[in-house]
Amino acid sequence: MAKAKVLLVDDEVPFVETMTKRLTKRGLEILSAFSGEEALKRLKENDNIEVIILDVKMPGMDGIQALREIKNSHPLVEVVMLTGHATVETAILGMKLGAFDYLMKPCDMDLLMAKVTAAAMKKRQHEGKIVEARLKEITSRMA
Amino acid sequence: MNPSQNSTSNYYRALTRKMILTVIIVSFAPMILVSGVIFDQFREFYKEKVYAHLRVLVRKHQRTIDSFLNEKMSDIRFLAKSYYFEELRDATFLQQRLALLQEEYDTVFEDLGVIDARGIQVAYAGPFELARAKYSEADWFKKAIGTQYFISDVFLGLRGLPHFIVAVRQKYEAEHWIFRATIDFAFFNNLVTSIRIGKTGFAFILNREGELQTKQLFDILPSKEIYMDLIRKGKDSTEDVHIFEQKDALNKKNIYVSAFLKNGDWLLVYQQESADAFADLNRAQYIAVIIFLVGGIAIITMAFVLSRRMVNRIARADREKEMMNQQVIETGKLATIGELAAGIAHEINNPVAIMVEEAGWIQDLLEEEEFRQSENLDEFNRALKQINTQGKRCKEITHKLLSFARKTDSRKQQVQINELIEDVVGLSSQRAKYSNVVISTKLEKDLPALQASETELQQVFMNLINNALDAMEKKGGTLEIASQLNGAHIEIDIADNGPGIPEANLARIFDPFFTTKPVGKGTGLGLSICYGIIKKMGGDIDVRSVVDMGTKFRIRLPLTRSAGETGAEKSLKGFDLH
């Protein structure tokens, strides 16, 4: 099994392509999207996506907007924000909206891997807890 | 001077003129009105007083003279009635009467005479040889024979000396005879000429024909018209004493006071030059004029000085406003440049990111077995590492540019002064290298955050560092930037060892538009903007400089009670702006 199923969203096609290759090589399962809208579509198609790497600055639906939608429809999916320039304001906003973390482009591959795996872990923990809770609920009902 | 400067200086000149005029008019108008009214009232009052005085004087003398004449007349009448014609005809008797009279009245009575109806002086007592003199043709005799009592005008008569006659007509055996006395002219004259006031005041008597009846001490021109006028006016007047002012033949204004004597036969005239009569008034007027002039000069001087000062102040305020406008424009320009820089930085960032990722991908692939044996593997790795390093460098540059060019606003936020200084130094380092300047920083660690506008502070340090680099452009040097905590202030020193600032310029360097750079190079606004920003923050900026030794700017920024870092910022610290 892959380390994590990741959706990579950026409007720069060459960036997405290279990143896909590099992350795949490091054992991640990568899906890609080139806009916010496409990302939402992919998410709908594949509900087992665990982590989304999301570029903040994109034409059309931008990262912050996409983040809102994602958190609305799939609250458990973890999002790592990626941006060309970091401003405290966008960072704070991203965190408030429930992003897992925040990275600057171009980013260090090891750092990115660490963040993504941590995000995936968190997601799995959350899911595990939910399953546990459900089990508890079911068992308590049976009892 | 260019035309716009010319027109503004014209504007200020016009403003000064207007203010001067207004001040002068506003101050002078009431002053003229008040002093005019008061002075006019005073003059009227004073004139009345002088007139009243003269009137009393003339009236008194009129009475004196009239009573003198009446007295003499009654003396003669008494004599005429006391004795018979036969008695008085006797020259010796007459001589005795005269002696008695002279004993009583001194020399008022000059001589006595008895004249019969045919005008022959039948008896005479006195110093002249006038016995048997014929007066039948004499003017006075004709008048005297026609009336009971008569006082003649002054005339020369047979003796050839001025005198006048007091005569009483009596009847003897159906024929008139006349008893007459001559009054000593000198004595009578004294009565009138003794009236002397001031330098030019004197009195005289006129008869109905306007002929002088007294001797004059002064040469008064025989300006008959005036005297005839006096007589006419005197007659018209209902008052016993008549006063008026008129110019005489010498074009001098005179006061004439007149009163009739002898039942309107004679006119007592008192004459005085107005200037003399009103000497006190004129002196007061003179003093008032001097006070007015001095006051006026004071007002005008004040008007000039005050207006100048006021307009200078306005001009300075205008210049400051102009500078503020310039500052606003400058800030706007900076904001635009900031946005542009942000755009460019962002655009460059993406391709750089892709390049770095591609290099990373190659590196990933090189780890595959098949490339392990390649002889150039180390060379590949070195090249890729270099690409990575340079990519990171690009990233650093764009990040700095972005953080510097981030929205230029004056919103206050928590500012770490050391980070800010390092950012600015980083941006200036390239320029410093070209100018052969070494920038060194000595920043005190863990300084508390300041509550300030980051962009504005960046502007301040950018300006100061750029100025220092400009100064050291030719010879190079070192620029030391130090920060330290000092009580409730953070002190930042920016010291260069450049050519220094001459003392003459030192006091003016914070003035707007003061620049030593060649035309077109500097606006002269940089330091004044710095000054404005620092002052606005409640801080201080001062400068010390020694020519050929260097210049040191010291900025003191007050620490406001910092609320501490917010949670969000804490959590961001690990990965933002690393």
Please, which residues have CB within 8 angstroms of residue B331's CB and are 6 or more apart in sequence?
B408, B410
Are B402 and B420 within one domain? no
* Tokens matching residue B395: 């990233």
Spatial separation of the C-alpha atoms in residues B56 and B50, rounded to whole Å: 10
Distance from CA of B570 to the nearest CA of A (A): 11
Domain final residue, candidates B407, B442, B458: B407
CB atoms within 10 A of CB B291: 11
In a domain? residue B247: no
CB atoms within 10 A of CB A111: 14
**What CATH number is given to the structural domain containing B442?**
3.30.565.10
In a domain? residue B83: no
Assess whether pLDDT exceeds 80 at residue A83.
no
Domain final residue, candidates B407, B432, B456: B407
Q: Do A84 and B350 touch (CB under 8 A)?
A: yes
Residue B555, strand partner residues: B492, B541
Secondary structure of residue B497 in the 3-state scheme: coil
Give the pLDDT of residue B222: 54
Spatial separation of the C-alpha atoms in residues B575 and A88, rounded to whole Å: 11
Asked if A114 has any chain B CB less than 8 Å from its own CB, the reply is no
Spatial separation of the C-alpha atoms in residues B67 and B262, rounded to whole Å: 10
Spatial separation of the C-alpha atoms in residues B150 and B37, rounded to whole Å: 53
In a domain? residue B137: no
Secondary structure of residue B575 in the 3-state scheme: coil
Element (H, E) at B177: strand B175-183
Kindly list the residues from chain A whose CB atom is less than 8 angstroms away from the CB atom of residue B361: 18, 21-22
Asked if A89 has any chain B CB less than 8 Å from its own CB, the reply is no
Give the pLDDT of residue B540: 87
Mean predicted lDDT score pLDDT of chain B: 81
Give the pLDDT of residue B410: 56
Of B45, B51, B52, give the one whose Cα is nearest residue B284: B45
Q: What pTM value is reported for the model?
A: 0.48
Q: Do B391 and A106 touch (CB under 8 A)?
A: yes
- Nearest chain A residue to B362 by CA distance is A22
Angle at B349 between CA A33 and CA A105, to 5 degrees: 60
Beta-strand relationship, B175-183 and B109-115: antiparallel
Q: Is the dihedral of CA B242, B247, B249, B254 positive or negative?
A: positive
Are B390 and B522 within one domain? no
Highest mean pLDDT out of A89-98, B207-216, B455-464, B493-502: B493-502
Give the pLDDT of residue B575: 35
B446: left (phi over 0), alpha (psi -120 to 50) or beta: left
Kindly list the residues from chain B whose CB atom is less than 8 angstroms away from the CB atom of residue A105: 349-350, 353, 395
**What CATH number is given to the structural domain containing B354?**
1.10.287
**What CATH number is given to the structural domain containing A137?**
3.40.50.2300
Residue A110's identity, in one-letter code, is D
Secondary structure of residue B488 in the 3-state scheme: coil
Residue B333, domain extent: 313-407
Spatial separation of the C-alpha atoms in residues B371 and B302, rounded to whole Å: 97
* Tokens matching residue A111: 């750092």
Are B413 and B456 within one domain? yes
In a domain? residue B124: no
List pLDDT tens digits, range B63-120.
888 898 888 888 888 888 888 888 888 888 888 888 888 888 877 888 888 888 888 8
In a domain? residue B527: yes
Lowest mean pLDDT among B8-22, B181-195, B515-529: B515-529
Residue A44, domain extent: 5-142
State percent of chain A over pLDDT 90. Answer: 29
CA distances from A78 to A16, B100, B280, B460 (A): 19, 160, 111, 42
Spatial separation of the C-alpha atoms in residues B392 and B356, rounded to whole Å: 8
Are B365 and B425 within one domain? no
Q: Do A15 and B353 touch (CB under 8 A)?
A: yes
Kindly list the residues from chain B whose CB atom is less than 8 angstroms away from the CB atom of residue A25: 364
Are B378 and B486 within one domain? no
In a domain? residue B524: yes
Spatial separation of the C-alpha atoms in residues B57 and B195, rounded to whole Å: 9
Spatial separation of the C-alpha atoms in residues B297 and B278, rounded to whole Å: 28
In a domain? residue B416: yes
Give the pLDDT of residue B555: 92
Are B415 and B540 within one domain? yes
Number of domains in chain A: 1
Domain final residue, candidates B373, B407, B441: B407
Are B344 and B436 within one domain? no
Kindly list the residues from chain B whose CB atom is less than 8 angstroms away from the CB atom of residue A101: 575
Is residue A52 within 8 Å of residue A25, measured between CB atoms?
Answer: no
In a domain? residue B426: yes
Is residue B501 within 8 Å of residue B543, measured between CB atoms?
Answer: yes
Number of domains in chain B: 2
Q: Which of A17, A18, A81 to mutate to test the interface with B (most CBs of B within 10 A)?
A: A18
User: Position of tokens 């009670």?
Assistant: B561
Are B372 and B432 within one domain? no
List pLDDT tens digits, range B495-536.
998 888 888 888 778 876 677 776 656 666 678 778 878 887
Residue A113's identity, in one-letter code, is M
- Give residue A7's pLDDT band: very low, low, confident or very high (50, 70, 90): very high
CB pairs under 8 A between A and B: 75
Asked if A93 has any chain B CB less than 8 Å from its own CB, the reply is no
Secondary structure of residue B1 in the 3-state scheme: coil
List pLDDT tens digits, range B377-415.
888 889 998 998 888 888 877 776 666 555 445 567 788
Are B394 and B491 within one domain? no
